[in-house]
A and B are shown apart, each in its own frame.
Chain A
Amino acid sequence: MSETSVDHAHDTHEHVDDSQLWEGGESPFRASYGKVMMWYFLVSDAFTFAGFLIAYGALRFSMPTWPEPDFVFASFPFVQAHWPLIFVTFMTFVLIFSSVTMVRAVQEGHRENQRGVVFWMLLTILGGATFLGSQAYEWTTLIATENVSVTRNPFGRHIADGVYLNEDGSESKNEDGTPMTFHKDQSYLIHMHDGKATGVVYHDPNSKGETMAHHEGTKIKYTTGVWAGQVKDVAFGPKAFGALFFFITGFHGFHVFSGVVFLTIIMLNAAGGLYAARRNGYEMIEKIGLYWHFVDLVWVFVFLVFYLL
């Protein structure tokens, strides 16, 4: 490059001759800049989620008891029955399906098939929206019906065997006259009315089905353990449970929400022909696809930690 041409380029910025510019070297890893950077963003995001989930594990290990997921997550829309883990399985399937439709959108992009890209992206967006709606239902049930908040967790487990007591201190009886007992590790949900604990709901241990028993009042007497013979109020579960649940699933839900927003923008761009004009095999679909699969990937671990273990 001669000195005069450098001066020329320097003086008139707007009229740089493209042929004199450096074309750039080969992309590292033979992947485009955008894709490589998306991968590294996802690595950092994975560390954020890992930090949250590890915090959940550490706090859970530090507590003498922890709510049992199949007892906590057992509600299903329009159904009064106790269906452990069924609704969240449905949510998992929604995310798997939307991941699959996303892969199809990327494949159609490689074939420069605009209609295919828009169609499969639309299905992906519907999947994401369905997941968000399901999460809204799950949160609403926990907050409005079961009174969980970030500082209060009415889901607990008994730390020893014992018996429920009436208000006057006498032992409560079941309908058939047997004492209303509970055993160690049994889950319960404290019923609340106007911010005060009024009773306890728990699995009826004598029933084979998923029927729930209800006890009015909050007094219990332990018959085993260090507090054997003592009368206590039934205790709220570990506070951290509510905070961790809302924070971690909320952070994941926020990722899903952002994903739906970006997917919508990119779908509209694709429908408008923007990526067809770029002639790069709809690379933008690939990049948002990486992000969307990552959201599914995180859910695999949220599902494991919160619902299965």
Chain B
Amino acid sequence: MSNQSYEEQKALVFKGLMLLGAITIIEVVVALLAKGHLIHGVNFSHGFGHYLYMLLMVGFSAYKAYFIIFYFMHMAYEMKGLVMSVLLPATLLVWAIIAFFQEGHSWGARREQIQQKNQEVVKPAPAGNPQGYYVIPGTTSAMRS
């Protein structure tokens, strides 16, 4: 636990309140600006501005998360082993985000192909070929037998 005096601890709480509140207000103001609610005709909904906006929002949120974990939850004053055993597993999520967003993106890009596949009609295999199946010609080019 921290070796701070009671007054120092109270000051930290006040600092936390101001910091989290200020970041939240900045986030919302930037969001309203980016989505075109503050200045008529100005928005960052496409291209580079949009990426910058998203990066900014993720950055602010990450800082809020860091502050809550390290100062409100006292992670800054815990032993390194505890810190590592909590934070290191969380880095697995980086890969989860990359992998699943890529998956979702590819799913979206191949929406028409998926619909086409869903409409394929499958016919039972002919007697001489018990393992294969036919896709009725004309529905798709893919065929296995």
Contact = CB atoms under 8 A, between A and B. Distances in A.
A233 interface: no
Contacts of B31: 70, 85, 307-308
Interface string A298-309: 001101100111
B58 interface: yes
B86 to A, nearest CB: 5
A210 B37 contact: yes
Interface stretch (A2-10, A94-102, A133-141, A254-262): A94-102
B134 interface: no
Interface stretch (B89-97, B117-125, B136-144): B89-97
B42 interface: no
A307 B28 CA distance: 9
Interface residues of A, number: 57
B6 A111 contact: yes
B55 to A, nearest CB: 11
Contacts of A309: 54, 57
B10 A70 contact: no
Nearest to A107: B9
Contact of A54 (B27, B57, B85, B97): B97
A54 B69 contact: no
B82 A29 contact: yes
B52 interface: no
A107 B10 contact: yes
A104 B72 CA distance: 10
B35 A84 contact: yes
A106 to B, nearest CB: 8
Most buried by B among A40, A104, A107: A107
B79 A29 contact: yes
B107 A62 contact: yes
Contacts of B101: 54, 57-58, 61
Interface in A105-131: 107, 110-111
Interface stretch (A43-51, A189-197, A214-222): A43-51
A239 interface: no
A120 B76 CA distance: 23
A68 B27 CA distance: 16
Contacts of B10: 104, 107
A301 B28 CA distance: 14
Given A54-B96, A97-B17, A29 B78 contact: yes
B65 A300 contact: yes
Contacts of A99: 20, 68, 72
B20 A96 contact: yes
Given A30-B79, A46-B90, A64 B13 contact: no
Nearest to A70: B35
Contacts of B21: 93, 96
Contacts of A294: 73
A85 B28 contact: yes
B145 to A, nearest CB: 32
B65 A297 contact: yes
B45 interface: yes
A96 B25 CA distance: 12
B89 A297 contact: no
B108 A50 contact: no
Interface in A276-309: 289-290, 293-294, 296-297, 300-301, 303-304, 307-309
Given A58-B101, A208-B40, A304-B58, 8 more contacts: A50-B96, A61-B107, A62-B111, A89-B25, A89-B28, A103-B13, A103-B72, A107-B10
15 contacts: A29-B78, A29-B85, A43-B86, A43-B90, A57-B97, A62-B111, A64-B108, A85-B28, A93-B24, A103-B16, A293-B68, A300-B61, A303-B61, A308-B28, A308-B61
Interface of A: 28-31, 36, 39-40, 42-43, 46-47, 50-51, 54-55, 57-64, 68, 70, 84-86, 89, 92-93, 96-97, 99-100, 102-104, 107, 110-111, 185, 208, 210, 289-290, 293-294, 296-297, 300-301, 303-304, 307-309
